[in-house]
Structure 1
Amino acid sequence: MIRVLLVDDQHLIRAGLRMLCEAQPDIEVVGEADNGRDAVTLAARLVPDVVVMDLRMPGVDGITATGRILADRPAARVLVLTTFGDDDHLFPALTAGACGFLLKDAPPADLIDGVRRAAAGASPFSEEVLQRLVRRAVQARVELRRPVSGLTARERDVLDLVAEGLSNTEIADRLHIGVTTVKTHITSLMTKTDSPNRVRLALFARGG
Structure 2
Amino acid sequence: MKIALIGYGKMGKAIDAIATAKGHEVILRIDINSKHLLEKEHLGQADVAIEFTTPETAYENVMKCFAADVPVVSGTTGWLDKLPEVKAMAEKEGKGFLQTTNFSIGVNIFFEINKRLAELMASQPQYDVQMEEIHHTQKKDSPSGTAISLAEQVLGAVTRKHAWVNEEATAADQLSIISKRIDPAPGTHTVTYTSAIDDISITHTAHSREGFAAGAVVAAEYLKGKKGVYTMKDVLNL
TM-score interval w.r.t. the shorter chain? 0.3 to 0.5
The normalised TM-score by structure 2 is 0.42
**Higher strand content, 1 or 2:** 2
Q: Which has the higher contact order (CA 8 A, sep 6+)?
A: 2
The normalised TM-score by structure 1 is 0.48
